Structure 1
Amino acid sequence: MALHLSAETVAPRAAAPQKYLFGPVADFLMLGGSAFLILPFLFLVPLEYEGAVAATMVFVAYVINYPHFAHSYQLFYRNFGRKVSGDGYDRGLQFRYIFAGIVVPVIMGAFFAYGAAAANARLLGYATNAMFFFVGWHYVKQGYGMLMVDAVLKRKFFDDRDKKVLLVNSYAVWILAWLQTNTAVTQGKYYGLEYYTFAAPSWIINIVLLLATASTAATGLMLVDRWRKNGGNLPYNGVVAYVASLYLWILIARINPLWLLVVPALHSLQYLAVVWRYQTNVERDDPGAVGDPPLKLLAFLGPLYRLRVLGFIVGGAALGYLGFWLIPFVLTALIPYDKQVLGSSLFFFIVLIFINVHHYFLDNVMWRRGNPEVSKYLFR
């Protein structure tokens, strides 16, 4: 999620600001603050309990991660015909919806179909490295987006120069982290398929390290300057989200094996904070949803719109299970392929790579300036 929104576009100065998505503590924990609490704890876990902690974290990651991916599909393809026809959307955004919603999945589908039919394990393995590339890009852009969201909510805006500093730093840290995983030609396994890294020249890594260090320092100085201009205040939850996304979830993700299992859940939780708030505002906008639910048994939930939001969340969980487990399980049972070459989990591998990469393209369209739905509902 990378929000390219101007404050004037989404939150006119005459409008009363909404200061939090859910509240000061909830926003801190969901947007990234929980990372600073969990990471030190992982270093204190006794060796004999690491297996249990790892299993728990994998389960939690899946429970949170699957709906996070599914929600992007629920939002992106809702009223998709209107979006691709340009009804209420400008021409540039219309083309972006067509490209991300139709062209990208067709291209990826053809790639995986050819790789599987040709039993080309090396070709499919390169998709894993591509996934790591796009996932890192997505993480840092979402961290930047969260900072912009909190800045608008708190009325503590960044000017264009500030935003450029933040973005340059985001990309520098992301590239450095990705190059660190490609310091040599190595071979690994992902869902039974081998994937490959390449040998990035040390001089390139050193240049990017210097750039990341300089941009981090520039970002720190910019935040201090912005703090002074804001009268000793900043959108602190957004800053926490930005720092956690870049440095804890990307740059030092490999500092602890357990941490690698926790990071996807924390990233997903950050995403869910915004999506759930957005969907709540969508449902609340319906005049018929402010009354009580039709069944008195559900009256404890409050107005009808809350029941609809709950249905959206449950639907995301079901869609996530369908996409990540049921569909690849059925495909594995029905479609024959060379298991000796491609392993026994080919379709689980394909689905996971497909959704992770496609998710980046979907979010890059939805959460940007000019999207009328985001402008209308996100900051209410």
Structure 2
Amino acid sequence: MAVHLSADTRAPAATPPKYLFGQLADFLMLGGSAFLILPVLYFVPLRYEGLVAATMLFLAYLINYPHFAHSYQLFYRNFGRKLRGDGYDRNLQIRYIFAGIVVPLLMGAFFAYGSITANARLLGNATNAMFFFVGWHYVKQGYGMLMVDAVLKRRFFTDPDKKILLVNSYAVWLFAWLQTNTAVSQGKYLGLEYYTFATPAWLNAIALSAAAASTAATLVMLINRWTRNGGGLPYNGIVAYSASLYLWILIVRMNPLWLLVVPALHSLQYLAVVWRYQSNVERDARDAEKIPQSRILSILGPAYRVRLLEFISAGLLLGGLGFWLIPTALTAIVPYDREVLGSSLFFFIVLIFINVHHYFLDNVMWRRGNPEVSRYLFR
């Protein structure tokens, strides 16, 4: 999620700060939990890797899968209006068409061709593409969380400040990605082989210098902004930004257990904003405060809470369908060369497809100029 929003920097500083769910909840959900959990996991013996993996598999149902499903729920809601440009400017309309129709068709054609021709090498390249886009998505979401918290706290950044933050995001991400491609090596992902490639040493040196320089520039900018704001900054947003860039992208490979946990932490960060956004959408309905007639549903309170729970429940269901039931059914029904492509082809395809497509969806939804984001995210 990358929220590209601007706001009036002359807004009164005396405005009470707002939170998505509360000061402590925001800290933990936006990234603070990483600073608490990852150091502890660093000292956990690797013989417990199986236990951590099993725990993360369970949490995937509760956190990871719904986080992907929610992006589809939001993106394709009222999709006909978005295709027609009804309430959306021309640029945003084109983006919705491209991300919602063109991208999935192109990816579908790619995976269909690779599967029919049993081209394992071609399909394996999709793994590298996923790692590329996932890292990009992580840092853009971290930046977006900082912008959200800045607006909520009325602690705005100038356009030059934002450029520094963005340049640093991309510099750190690019350096981290290049570090996974320092030499030609072979790996396996859900039964399919993929290959990294050797990047020249001079390119890695330049990337390291750029990441270090942009990090230093970011620190100087934050100190200056702290001084000008009278000792105030959107601290939860800075925590989210720092966790996304440095913990989840740059140093995550230091410990295998971290690789298992970070996707859930990233998803939790995403859910904090989506649940707040959807809660505001439901509160906007005329009968939002009406108590349901059902005795069971009335326990949950006003109607908007019931509908928010329905939204979250739908995400759980869609996540289970997308990541487990559908690929399981396809594996049982659709014939393909299992000797070449392995027994988990459709799990591989679904995982790569959703991860990459998720980046394109978010890049459209959470943009400046999207009327829905402007209306509901900061209420």
State the TM-score, normalized to the length of structure 1.
0.97
Q: Residue in 2 aligned with 1:344?
A: 343
- 2:336 partner amino acid: Y
Moved more, 175-184 or 52-61: 52-61
Could you tell me how far apart the structure 1 residues matched to 2:178 and 2:13 are?
Answer: 46
Could you tell me how far apart the structure 1 residues matched to 2:274 and 2:35 are?
Answer: 23
User: Are the counterparts in 2 of residues 292 and 304 from structure 1 also a CA contact under 8 Å?
Assistant: yes
Moved over 3 A (4+): 11-18, 46-50
Aligned-residue offset at 1:254: 0.6
Could you tell me how far apart the structure 1 residues matched to 2:310 and 2:30 are?
Answer: 23
Could you tell me how far apart the structure 1 residues matched to 2:211 and 2:21 are?
Answer: 33
Q: What pairs up with 1:1-380 in 2 under 5 angstroms?
A: 1-8=1-8, 19-380=18-379
User: Are the counterparts in 2 of residues 125 and 195 from structure 1 also a CA contact under 8 Å?
Assistant: yes
Could you tell me how far apart the structure 1 residues matched to 2:303 and 2:345 are?
Answer: 43
- 2:181 partner amino acid: N
Could you tell me how far apart the structure 1 residues matched to 2:39 and 2:32 are?
Answer: 12
Could you tell me how far apart the structure 1 residues matched to 2:131 and 2:47 are?
Answer: 30
- 2:290 partner amino acid: G
**Cα distance change on mapping 1:358 and 1:12 into 2, 3 Å:** farther
Aligned-residue offset at 1:243: 0.1
- 1:379 partner amino acid: F
Deviations 1:81-109 (A, max 9, x none): 00010000000000000000000000000
Moved more, 294-303 or 99-108: 294-303
- 1:317 partner amino acid: L
Moved more, 14-23 or 301-310: 14-23
Could you tell me how far apart the structure 1 residues matched to 2:333 and 2:109 are?
Answer: 19
**Cα distance change on mapping 1:259 and 1:19 into 2, 3 Å:** same
Q: Which runs of no fewer than 5 residues in structure 2 stay unpaired?
A: none
Aligned-residue offset at 1:46: 3.8
State the TM-score, normalized to the length of structure 2.
0.97
- 2:60 partner amino acid: A
**Cα distance change on mapping 1:14 and 1:233 into 2, 3 Å:** closer
Aligned-residue offset at 1:17: 5.9
**Cα distance change on mapping 1:241 and 1:14 into 2, 3 Å:** closer
Deviations 1:61-90 (A, max 9, x none): 342100000000000000000001000000
Aligned-residue offset at 1:346: 0.3
Could you tell me how far apart the structure 2 residues matched to 1:147 and 1:274 are?
Answer: 12
Aligned-residue offset at 1:255: 1.1
User: Are the counterparts in 2 of residues 62 and 265 from structure 1 also a CA contact under 8 Å?
Assistant: no
Could you tell me how far apart the structure 1 residues matched to 2:88 and 2:34 are?
Answer: 37
- 1:195 partner amino acid: Y
Aligned-residue offset at 1:288: 1.1
**Cα distance change on mapping 1:62 and 1:247 into 2, 3 Å:** farther
User: Are the counterparts in 2 of residues 18 and 379 from structure 1 also a CA contact under 8 Å?
Assistant: no
Could you tell me how far apart the structure 2 residues matched to 1:145 and 1:288 are?
Answer: 32
Could you tell me how far apart the structure 1 residues matched to 2:209 and 2:58 are?
Answer: 38
Deviations 1:337-367 (A, max 9, x none): 0000000000000000000000000000000
Q: Which runs of no fewer than 5 residues in structure 1 stay unpaired?
A: none
User: Are the counterparts in 2 of residues 58 and 262 from structure 1 also a CA contact under 8 Å?
Assistant: no
Moved more, 59-68 or 196-205: 59-68
Aligned-residue offset at 1:13: 6.3
Aligned-residue offset at 1:60: 1.5
Deviations 1:22-53 (A, max 9, x none): 00000000000000000111122245434222
Could you tell me how far apart the structure 2 residues matched to 1:92 and 1:18 are?
Answer: 33
Task: Indicate the RMSD between aligned Cα atoms, in angstroms.
Answer: 1.6
Identity %: 78
Could you tell me how far apart the structure 2 residues matched to 1:229 and 1:13 are?
Answer: 14
Could you tell me how far apart the structure 1 residues matched to 2:24 and 2:197 are?
Answer: 43
Could you tell me how far apart the structure 1 residues matched to 2:58 and 2:296 are?
Answer: 31
What is the DSSP-based 3-state SS (H/G/I as helix, E as strand, rest coil) of the residue aligned with 2:181?
Answer: coil
Could you tell me how far apart the structure 1 residues matched to 2:61 and 2:201 are?
Answer: 36
Deviations 1:307-332 (A, max 9, x none): 10000000000000111111111111
Could you tell me how far apart the structure 2 residues matched to 1:133 and 1:346 are?
Answer: 21
Could you tell me how far apart the structure 1 residues matched to 2:289 and 2:99 are?
Answer: 34
